[in-house]
Amino acid sequence: MAETRKHGFESLQIHGGALPDSATGARQTPIYQSTGFVFKDVEHAAALFDLKEVGYIYSRLTNPTVSALQERIATLEDGIGAVCCSSGHAAQIMALFPLMQVGNNVVVSSRLYGGTVTQFSHTIKRFGWEARFVDFDDVDAIAAAVDEDTRAIFCESIANPAGHLTDIPSVAKVANQVGLPLIVDNTTATPYLCNPIEMGATLVVHSTTKYLTGNGTVTGGCVVDSGKFDWSATKKFPSLSEPEDAYHGLKFHETFGQFAFTLHGIAVGLRDLGMTMNPQAAHYTMLGIETLSLRMQRHVENAQAVAEWLQEHLAVENVSYSGLQSSSQYALQQKLYPKGAGALFSFSMKDGYDTCVRLVENLELVSHVANLGDAKTLIIHSASTTHRQLTEDQQSAAGAGPNVLRISVGIETVEDIIADLEQAIEKALM
């Protein structure tokens, strides 16, 4: 048989993980709205429970619609497997869970989604885990923060909220030197603009809530494994390399090789943490991904135009968009993110907090929403909303000071987005 040609991104986003339904011929992947699945016989059931055979038992663990989505995202990210879960925040816990024991830490970028800063600086402490925040532009500082108890390095590709780009190959080099997995949150770039695994990441996490679904309908998350990390090279990852009591002493890495992390995510993570994606959500996200490349092209094109327009506006102090030639990150963007700098960025007004609040309140087409990656243009004043739980120092470190607005540029007619911003800025300054 002739060697099959690898399909392009646009084909994979439509066909990856999904064949016509074997039971009915349905061309679109059906929503398998079923909690349980009938075993062929007792032997079949036993094989499934012992992880000797892959199949469907119960939808907390696996579901055919969710499986199709998992395979599609893994394909687009060049991963070996993926586990979907109920939200992006669930995905972050699901990524760390197999790696971390009580007393372990993760070295994380100080530029992260506000909710992730909160999850990492407060909530994970209850598990006996610690996050160490470091400026990832300084790769020496990453290495310096690593100690014997570090189990992972974590960053975002295009970092929230300012659209700051991470130099993933440089960070991956450090992770490789210290022998730790690099986890990249690729939510804001999507696999269309950035392929973290190709740049050296071990794991990729997503909030599928955002661009992958693309229309603000369902929350979801995903963890993709590259299959490239040797979990048994040290004794640091006992959940993957040592016997698992709940499976008669099975060793995940020894038994499943490259699939160890993914199977652990399903067989232990979803089984016991229960942060499962439902098949309806998987269906919406599959539909969204079918048009990902088209939407991202328009998102990026519109973002570039809006950023250029804002940059020229007299009331605007600064536009933090790496697609602008004036950006200190422009060269990095051209090199690592050549298809575009994303559609999420922040800008600061010359006037402070009150002007930003008035601006947001006077917008008509653009919505004031704590979300991003929607077809609709969304704006948020981070200091009074998503980042209000943070201290002022943390706000500034995350690029969310009082005069800063974050915009997620949608795919509407770009002249309409600009006209709306123009009238709202005018009213805010009155």
Sole binder of ligand PLP in the list 116, 166, 320, 333 (CB under 6 A): 116
**Which residue number, 210 or 387, has a Cβ lying nearer to ligand PLP?**
210
276 makes contact with ligand PLP (CB under 6 A): no
Instruction: Report the residue closest to ligand PLP, judged by CB.
Output: 88
Q: Dig out the tokens for 12 from the structure.
A: 């994979």
Which stretch, 111-119, 192-200, 357-365, 401-409, contacts ligand PLP (CB under 6 A)?
111-119
Instruction: Pick out residues in 355-374 that bind ligand PLP (CB under 6 A).
Output: 372
Q: Is 143 helix (H, G, I), strand (E, B) or coil?
A: helix
Least distance between ligand PLP and beta carbon 26 (Å): 28
Asked whether 390 and 117 are in contact (CB, 8 A), the reply is: yes
Least distance between ligand PLP and beta carbon 73 (Å): 14
Say if residue 161 is preceded by a cis peptide, omega within 30 of 0: yes
Asked whether 206 and 212 are in contact (CB, 8 A), the reply is: yes
Least distance between ligand PLP and beta carbon 115 (Å): 5
Least distance between ligand PLP and beta carbon 185 (Å): 5
Instruction: Pick out residues in 73-92 that bind ligand PLP (CB under 6 A).
Output: 87-89
Helix-then-strand count for the chain, H and E: 18, 16
Instruction: Pick out residues in 32-61 that bind ligand PLP (CB under 6 A).
Output: none
Least distance between ligand PLP and beta carbon 157 (Å): 9
Which stretch, 56-64, 66-74, 180-188, 237-245, contacts ligand PLP (CB under 6 A)?
180-188
Q: What dihedral do alpha carbons 268, 271, 276, 279 form, nearest 10°?
A: 110
Sole binder of ligand PLP in the list 113, 133, 154, 321 (CB under 6 A): 113
Least distance between ligand PLP and beta carbon 213 (Å): 10
Q: Residue 368 belongs to what H/E stretch?
A: strand 367-368
Strand partners, 348: 318, 404
Burial bucket for residue 387 (CB in 10 Å: 0-12, 13-18, 19+): buried
**Which residue number, 115 or 260, has a Cβ lying nearer to ligand PLP?**
115
160 makes contact with ligand PLP (CB under 6 A): yes
C-alpha distances (whole Å) from 387 to each of 210, 211, 349, 376 are 18, 21, 17, 22
Sole binder of ligand PLP in the list 187, 293, 304, 377 (CB under 6 A): 187
**Which residue number, 93 or 175, has a Cβ lying nearer to ligand PLP?**
93
190 makes contact with ligand PLP (CB under 6 A): no
Binding string, residues 204-233; x marks residues near ligand PLP by CB under 6 A: ---x-xx--------x-x------------
| Number of residues engaging ligand PLP in binding (CB under 6 A) | 17
- Which contacts (CB < 8 Å, 24+ apart) does range 255-259 have? 255/51, 258/80, 258/225, 258/227, 258/228, 259/80, 259/81, 259/225, 259/227
Q: Report the distance separating Cα 93 and Cα 308, nearest Å.
A: 38
**Which residue number, 156 or 290, has a Cβ lying nearer to ligand PLP?**
156
Which stretch, 121-129, 182-190, 196-204, 266-274, contacts ligand PLP (CB under 6 A)?
182-190
Which residues are CB-neighbours of 187 under 8 A, at least 6 positions away? Answer: 88, 113, 156, 160, 205, 206, 207, 210, 211, 373
Q: Report the distance separating Cα 69 and Cα 64, nearest Å.
A: 9
**Which residue number, 163 or 402, has a Cβ lying nearer to ligand PLP?**
163
- Gyration radius of the chain over CA positions: 22
Asked whether 342 and 373 are in contact (CB, 8 A), the reply is: no
185 makes contact with ligand PLP (CB under 6 A): yes
Which residues are CB-neighbours of 399 under 8 A, at least 6 positions away? Answer: 111, 161, 162, 164, 320, 346
C-alpha distances (whole Å) from 47 to each of 190, 266, 400 are 36, 16, 52
Sole binder of ligand PLP in the list 29, 188, 190, 302 (CB under 6 A): 188
Q: Report the distance separating Cα 236 and Cα 93, nearest Å.
A: 18
**Which residue number, 116 or 285, has a Cβ lying nearer to ligand PLP?**
116
- What's the gap between Cα 278 and its chain centre? 18
Binding string, residues 6-25; x marks residues near ligand PLP by CB under 6 A: --------------------
Which stretch, 72-80, 137-145, 184-192, 250-258, contacts ligand PLP (CB under 6 A)?
184-192
Least distance between ligand PLP and beta carbon 247 (Å): 29
Q: DSSP class of residue 36?
A: B
**Which residue number, 175 or 218, has a Cβ lying nearer to ligand PLP?**
218
Task: State the residues that interact with ligand PLP by CB under 6 A.
Answer: 87-89, 113, 115-116, 156, 160, 185, 187-188, 207, 209-210, 219, 221, 372
